[in-house]
Structure 1
Amino acid sequence: MKKLPRWIHGNWPVPVLSGVLIAISFAIQWLGAGAADISVGPRWWVDAGDHATHTGGAFTLGDAFMLAAAVVAGYGIAVKAVRALIVRVIGIDLLVSVAAIGAIVIGNFWEAAAVTFLFAIGHALEAATLNKTRSALAELVAVAPDSAIVVRDGGQQEIPASQVRMGEIVLVKNGAKVPVDGQVVAGTGALDEASITGESIPVEKTEGSQVFAGTVSRGGFLQVSATGIGADTTLARIIHRVEEAQDAKAKTQAFMDRFSRWYTPAVMVLALVAGLVTGDVVLALTLLVIGCPGAMVISIPVAIVAGIGRAARNGILIKGGEFLETSAKISAVAVDKTGTLTEGRPRLTDVVVLDPALERTEVLRWAAAAEAGSEHPLARPILETAEAEGVGPRGVPGTVTPVPGKGIVSEVGGRLVLIGNPPLLEQYGIAEAAAEAAQAAEDLAAEGKTPMIVAVDQRVIGVVAVADQTRRDAPEMVARLHRAGVEKVVMLTGDTRLVAEAVGKATGIDEIHASLLPEDKLDAVTRLQRQGHTIAMVGDGVNDAPALATADIGVAMGAAGSAVAVETADIALMGDNLLKLPEGIGLAKRTVSVMRQNISIALITVVLLLAGVFAGGVTMSIGMLVHEASVLVVIANAMRLLRNTSDSTAMPRAGRTIAPTTEPVPV
């Protein structure tokens, strides 16, 4: 019963009632009831010789129903036209209103009813289809949880999700939706995060894991401490962003809006001139109907809404139509190395022993002891490995003196330990085994690893090397970007040239820029822009901030849970999946292609109909029918973007095979 009131207040009652009245009119005329003259479209006047003279011809009961149908369908159209005129806007509604009123004045009730009825149906179908294209947003809203089970007063209480307090413990059971953003404090489970990241494979969650509102438990039991509630959740931010993005206009859409503001008055002038020159009022009114730019007006926004909606459903947030359009032009992609092409989690890969009197574990123990008081990021993998092998440092470390650009000097148990590069050895006058150590360090660096020479009391004992791991999907991402039409993939990194080249070789990067400061990355981006490229920059938003701001499109990866990334990035990839980048660019290109197709369909339809009117044979009602059909074709074409088709960029070109990466490459 609740559906009926919604239907009555929707877009369909007017065209349905108008259609019923038209059917009754035809039935009356067919039965011959109410008048002797049962011809379709009776007139207020009839021809008398060479002149049209008013005769007050018979007005039948069928005419009355046809006129009523025109009034029912045309009233709302006329009201919209008047409201638009008040704010000095000449739109489609005015064209239809003038044509319908003119048809009534000359006694052509059938044409008036047909034009308004078809226009009302087109409006209802257009509204319904636009709602369909916004289905991704509706789905996001639908996954928002309504209730939550919290621990209060020593027991479980079910409350509305909006009433959960920050820091409160929320229980997530099998099959339930997570009602808040938070951190797991106890329990294990698997969550379906498709609504956030677009990935359908459930993610294992344990103590310390982050969870997001709107995700669904597929097994297990979790106790979650709420860190984000209500509008502060990742899901709420995504919904807000998608809502704004679907309403934002692309440059092409803004142009079409300006074009229609001039086009509509031009059609009215054309109709007036044609009527005055030919003396044919019906021709003038028909031109008004034929010239309606409805398909042109709807062609761009429906494609943008569908494209952004499809992207959001796949975990790709695009800021708006302008950025969607720009993304389709991307010809070069600049990526940071650490955390983008690599995992961002360095590991100890090698321990080279240069002192025959020592074992591997002893070299590792001295290196870990020296690094125990260091804040350098590369200290952690050395310490973790030493702990795992049972030779981790004990107690409080001695003094640690960092030597910028060279390494550290540490006091361990009264002995001087150096760990760093060859210039550090030279600074402390260590000549013994320095050449051998330098060669070992160079060999490791050539493999893309970061070597550190270890010396104890003026004696070189070995070399340890740390490396990040290249992501498994990084080579495939580069290959797919090329297949998506990106000419150049460029690495911008602050790491050394040897390490950067190792990553570039492993991933197929086209161009490498190493040892860069943040301002150097900015210069690299502007240099590519001067070469004529449309640049997308992928980075972490910290040291890459200047380059991200300068690039034509700034891309944030792994943005789930990051409010800053979701709100500031032009494109935010919610998951940590590199392949989402070429997928997003490919979708942008398909969307722009649909936009162009729609504009072509709209223009060709108008030209053919105008030609048909002047050539004869296209009436007002036929013109409106074809016009509304073109609107539906344009909408249906845009709705193809909503289909969850496989990524076309994933398919290799004929004759080209890409071998999958089975193991991550240390760099």
Structure 2
Amino acid sequence: MEKLQLKIPVILPQVPNEKDSCVERLIQKLQAKEGIEKVHIADANGDDVPQLCFHYDPDIISIDRIQSLAESTGAEITEKYGHLLIEVKGIRHTRQARSIEKSLLTINGVLEVSVSGSGMVRVEFDKGITGFGAIKKKIEKQGLTIIEPSVDTETYLQKMEVSNGEEKSEDTQDKEENQHVGESEDHVHKDGEEHNHKEGESEAHAHGGIFGKNTELIFAIICGTLLGIGFGLSYVESIPDWVSLSLYVGAYFFGGYFTAKEAIQTVAKGGFEIDFLMLVAAIGAAALGEWAEGALLLFLFSLGHALEHYAMEKARKSIAALADLAPKTALLKKDGKTEEVGIEKLSIGDIIVVKPNSKISADGVVVNGKSSVNQAPITGESVPVDKIPVEDTSRDYSADDDIKDENRVFAGTINGNNTLEIKVIKEAKDSTLSRLVKLVNEAQTQKSPTQLLTDKFEKYFVPSVLILVGILLFAFLVIDEPFSASFYRAMAVLVAASPCALAISTPSAVLSGVARAARGGVLIKGGRPLEDLGVITALAFDKTGTLTEGKPKLTDVVPLGDIEENELLKIAVAVENLSDHPLAKAVVRDGKERLKGTDINDASDLEAVLGKGIKASLGKDKIYIGNLDLYEDLDEAKPSEEISNKVKELESDGNTTMLIRRNKEYIGIIALMDTPREAAKETLKKLKEIGIKRMIMLTGDNQKVADAVAKEIGLTDAWGSLLPEEKVDAIKELKEKESKVAMVGDGVNDAPAMANSTVGIAMGAAGSDVALETADVALMADKLETLPFAIGLSRKAKAIIKQNLWVSLGVVALLIPATILSWANIGIAVAFHEGSTLVVVANALRLLAYKKD
């Protein structure tokens, strides 16, 4: 396993030096993340800024992810490393993506590269050594076209332009390339017409051009047609053999065109790919007079490639559809007039008008109008959400993470039947939709454990096959057979052993799984969390805001003596109305709801007793509301044992209780509780049905409260009175017992525990930037019920990956001995080999149609 070492300059605000305990805490949090082996302070080298040295595995975690994690824990990363996410055209299959990776890694200063078969290229590089110019040049040398840089790339290029290309480099070539970064930006962004023209040319170049982007598939069909006609005519005695032969030659041309082109390009660069081996096998078959078998090989191989390209394109389009959700223009309201502007011109604080049944152009808060909004494109919610204006329309909400769902709207969601006026709280490039698209695109480039394993397997398998083929070529020297028989057998083995299906089996399933999840309002950041989520056996939940509503509700009103329930409530609401304590607000809110418009008198003379309760005057009466401790030191009129027992009984069920006294008489008890979410019980039941063995709640609340909530919603365990660092220890303990544990939280307070778990799952990520960045899996809506869908999809993806591996490896394992022993000829080997490629591609695409339960 390749390990890299990386020094990142880190600034911790208000931290005097690297010996501060905050630095130690930061290191502990970062080391918990899978893929980071060790974090320590680098040796001093005269820098003013402390340098953190990371020892990490680039196959598991990227530099950009390390920087995000460090920033989420309070650090500021200096601008030393660049991160580009670029979409390109011209990648036909996964093996080509791998050779592009190798090529880009040869650029001086490039630290990490990951290329997906769907056309996403992720590059991490040292800004002091290289830049976009050098990377772009190398990409174009591979015969690819940059479609459109991501927001990150664009921002980076703008910074580069401002600095006038002052980056330093270690060699002249990189210096020259960096001097043209400004030109690169112009070429990519500003020359719209010229760019589109060139893009068309490149596409034509990549796919043959005659029939547009479907040229490869059409060529494969023509090849198959010519082969079929030629094969049929070969059985008609009156037709000369040269007719069939000429049709086979035509089939060779159409079936071998792209294979030969790619093979020549690869060999010219000093590479060696399966395409070349297939070409050799086809030429070998022709040399032996087996034209029909060679044409069959090229037909199925080209058809497999064309369908592989189609499968990747289909999954890519499913993801790309996310980017098309947001409208390109908005109706900006200024000085009482509205004008249509491009969304990139919107600034924070602008007011936009959204007409009925049209898409919302920016993230913002409603300042005027009431409507229902279809949020399915972002959060996956099937029911439209009612929206109302914020109370303070003049306030700046751009830095708030806790805006109410009824006030907040997202770009790309669809307005209902009424007009809304919305205050913009995020620029277009920072909107939830933009970040979602970026993270999903990045997820395509993150390889899964199975893919890393198959890549490693291929690395040793292909040379072994070539050695075996070399040995079989000289079999005629050992056994009594002509060279032509040995050559034919060697070619058959070559075809049988080519791991085409293996190469596409995992990435196609991962891409389809990530695309389907995004459509369902779940962001899965790559192949690793997709696979891991499918095998977890235990789920740990934060309590407040995850399993519960996150706000106390009035649960019980218990009158004592002759007083009626409504009268008791009126007294409680009147007094609590004077307080701004969260529990008091809950009593007032829920009390008024129960009393429904009943007149409530005003109380006066509020006096708070810290941690115990309050006193106030209501008319001529003195009212006391608080816990049992309030009455301990008050006077001689203590509550009876019966009343005390009733209070303790309510508390044992997880309630926070308030005992109410009027003058000297105890008149009632009210109880409040952070109540479980409505969907919690049903969701946990579904999770149990799909095989999650343990569901544990981790909370800072006392054990009694934890037990009460756990009993009500059906958890297997509840661990209360935990500090944040104790939650981390709890996760570590769970991992030892269950091996695979997911932590579900809001992504803010629970970040350390989530980092220590196998998979960190954030709730309500659409409203929280921190949750969106730090989690491995983000449930965009603040809805627990999407969790079974995410786990079910991951299990389906894991099962499909396993099936694909069995098919691809099983076919190779059967065909190699069969061709060595001459039980199967090239025709049979081709049919099984290419047939298996088609099977794994079709199997992976099933994930796009995965249904929510």
Normalising TM by the smaller chain, what interval? 0.7 to 0.9
Measure, in 2, the Cα distance between the counterparts of 1:359 and 1:125. Answer: 71
- Does structure 1 residue 525 correspond to structure 2 residue 710? no
The amino acid of 1:227's aligned partner reads I
**Cα distance, 1:491 vs structure 2:** 1.7
- Does structure 1 residue 400 correspond to structure 2 residue 608? yes
Query: Does the CA contact (< 8 Å) of 1:103 and 1:111 recur in 2?
Result: yes
Query: Does the CA contact (< 8 Å) of 1:73 and 1:113 recur in 2?
Result: no
The amino acid of 1:329's aligned partner reads V
In structure 2, relative to structure 1, the CA distance for the partners of 1:355 and 1:544 (3 Å cut) is farther
* 2:260 equivalent among 50, 62, 75: 75
Query: Does the CA contact (< 8 Å) of 2:227 and 2:295 recur in 1?
Result: no
Measure, in 2, the Cα distance between the counterparts of 1:545 and 1:20. Answer: 56
TM-superposition CA deviations, 1:328-376 (whole Å, max 9, x none): 111111112222222223222334445768996467646764674454x
Structure 2 partner of 1:268: 466
Measure, in 2, the Cα distance between the counterparts of 1:197 and 1:66. Answer: 49
The amino acid of 1:266's aligned partner reads S
- Does structure 1 residue 38 correspond to structure 2 residue 38? no
* 2:774 equivalent among 568, 592, 613: 568
**Cα distance, 1:127 vs structure 2:** 0.6
Query: Does the CA contact (< 8 Å) of 2:266 and 2:273 recur in 1?
Result: yes
Structure 2 partner of 1:651: none
Structure 2 partner of 1:548: 754
- Trace 1:29-178 onto structure 2 (pairs within 5 A): 38=242, 65=250, 68-69=253-254, 72-82=257-267, 85-86=270-271, 90-103=272-285, 111-178=293-360
* 1:187 equivalent among 355, 369, 389: 369
Structure 2 partner of 1:300: 506
Instruction: Tell me how many residue pairs correspond in the alignment.
Output: 617
**Cα distance, 1:106 vs structure 2:** 5.5
Query: Does the CA contact (< 8 Å) of 1:80 and 1:93 recur in 2?
Result: no
Say which is worse superposed, 113-122 or 501-510, in terms of deviation: 113-122
Local SS of the residue matching 1:143: coil
**Cα distance, 1:36 vs structure 2:** 7.7
Measure, in 1, the Cα distance between the counterparts of 2:601 and 2:829. Answer: 84
Structure 2 partner of 1:478: 684
**Cα distance, 1:461 vs structure 2:** 5.0
Measure, in 2, the Cα distance between the counterparts of 1:522 and 1:18. Answer: 56
In structure 2, relative to structure 1, the CA distance for the partners of 1:84 and 1:329 (3 Å cut) is farther
In structure 2, relative to structure 1, the CA distance for the partners of 1:136 and 1:603 (3 Å cut) is same
Local SS of the residue matching 1:346: strand
Structure 2 partner of 1:660: none
In structure 2, relative to structure 1, the CA distance for the partners of 1:596 and 1:434 (3 Å cut) is same
Query: Does the CA contact (< 8 Å) of 2:533 and 2:794 recur in 1?
Result: yes
Local SS of the residue matching 2:242: coil
Gaps of 5+ in 2: 1-196, 391-406, 477-482
Q: Percent identity?
A: 35
TM-superposition CA deviations, 1:122-162 (whole Å, max 9, x none): 21110111111234312212212122122134322122222
Measure, in 1, the Cα distance between the counterparts of 2:565 and 2:689. Answer: 50
User: Structure 1 length normalisation: TM-score?
Assistant: 0.83
Query: Does the CA contact (< 8 Å) of 2:659 and 2:666 recur in 1?
Result: yes
Q: Which has the larger radius of gyration?
A: 1
Structure 2 partner of 1:559: 765
In structure 2, relative to structure 1, the CA distance for the partners of 1:399 and 1:641 (3 Å cut) is same
The amino acid of 2:719's aligned partner reads H
The amino acid of 1:320's aligned partner reads G
- Does structure 1 residue 225 correspond to structure 2 residue 423? yes
Say which is worse superposed, 552-561 or 289-298, in terms of deviation: 552-561
Structure 1 partner of 2:439: 241
Structure 2 partner of 1:578: 784
* 1:468 equivalent among 663, 671, 674: 674
**Cα distance, 1:559 vs structure 2:** 1.5
Measure, in 1, the Cα distance between the counterparts of 2:557 and 2:695. Answer: 34
Measure, in 2, the Cα distance between the counterparts of 1:254 and 1:432. Answer: 70
Structure 2 partner of 1:593: 799
- Does structure 1 residue 632 correspond to structure 2 residue 826? no
Local SS of the residue matching 1:134: helix
In structure 2, relative to structure 1, the CA distance for the partners of 1:69 and 1:518 (3 Å cut) is closer
Local SS of the residue matching 1:453: strand
In structure 2, relative to structure 1, the CA distance for the partners of 1:437 and 1:85 (3 Å cut) is farther
Query: Does the CA contact (< 8 Å) of 1:371 and 1:383 recur in 2?
Result: yes
* 2:523 equivalent among 307, 317, 327: 317
In structure 2, relative to structure 1, the CA distance for the partners of 1:200 and 1:382 (3 Å cut) is closer
Gaps of 5+ in 1: 42-60, 648-667
Structure 2 partner of 1:653: none
**Cα distance, 1:571 vs structure 2:** 1.1
Structure 2 partner of 1:421: 627
Structure 1 partner of 2:215: 13
Local SS of the residue matching 1:345: strand
Local SS of the residue matching 1:271: helix
Local SS of the residue matching 2:267: helix
Measure, in 2, the Cα distance between the counterparts of 1:112 and 1:193. Answer: 54
Measure, in 2, the Cα distance between the counterparts of 1:493 and 1:565. Answer: 19
**Cα distance, 1:612 vs structure 2:** 3.4
Query: Does the CA contact (< 8 Å) of 1:70 and 1:109 recur in 2?
Result: no
Query: Does the CA contact (< 8 Å) of 1:342 and 1:471 recur in 2?
Result: yes
User: Structure 2 length normalisation: TM-score?
Assistant: 0.66
Local SS of the residue matching 2:743: strand
- Does structure 1 residue 503 correspond to structure 2 residue 682? no
TM-superposition CA deviations, 1:247-297 (whole Å, max 9, x none): 211111100001011111111111111111234112212221221100011
Local SS of the residue matching 1:219: coil
Structure 1 partner of 2:589: 384
In structure 2, relative to structure 1, the CA distance for the partners of 1:539 and 1:431 (3 Å cut) is farther
Local SS of the residue matching 1:466: strand
Measure, in 2, the Cα distance between the counterparts of 1:22 and 1:484. Answer: 45
Query: Does the CA contact (< 8 Å) of 2:255 and 2:295 recur in 1?
Result: yes
- Does structure 1 residue 623 correspond to structure 2 residue 829? yes
In structure 2, relative to structure 1, the CA distance for the partners of 1:321 and 1:269 (3 Å cut) is same
- Does structure 1 residue 283 correspond to structure 2 residue 465? no
Measure, in 1, the Cα distance between the counterparts of 2:587 and 2:222. Answer: 81
In structure 2, relative to structure 1, the CA distance for the partners of 1:169 and 1:265 (3 Å cut) is same
Structure 2 partner of 1:656: none
The amino acid of 1:274's aligned partner reads L
Query: Does the CA contact (< 8 Å) of 2:523 and 2:777 recur in 1?
Result: yes
Local SS of the residue matching 1:167: coil
Structure 2 partner of 1:251: 449
Measure, in 2, the Cα distance between the counterparts of 1:253 and 1:382. Answer: 55
Structure 2 partner of 1:662: none
The amino acid of 1:400's aligned partner reads A
In structure 2, relative to structure 1, the CA distance for the partners of 1:315 and 1:22 (3 Å cut) is closer
In structure 2, relative to structure 1, the CA distance for the partners of 1:542 and 1:460 (3 Å cut) is farther
Measure, in 1, the Cα distance between the counterparts of 2:454 and 2:698. Answer: 38
The amino acid of 1:177's aligned partner reads K
Local SS of the residue matching 2:784: coil
In structure 2, relative to structure 1, the CA distance for the partners of 1:350 and 1:115 (3 Å cut) is closer
Query: Does the CA contact (< 8 Å) of 2:513 and 2:794 recur in 1?
Result: yes
**Cα distance, 1:233 vs structure 2:** 1.0
Local SS of the residue matching 2:455: helix
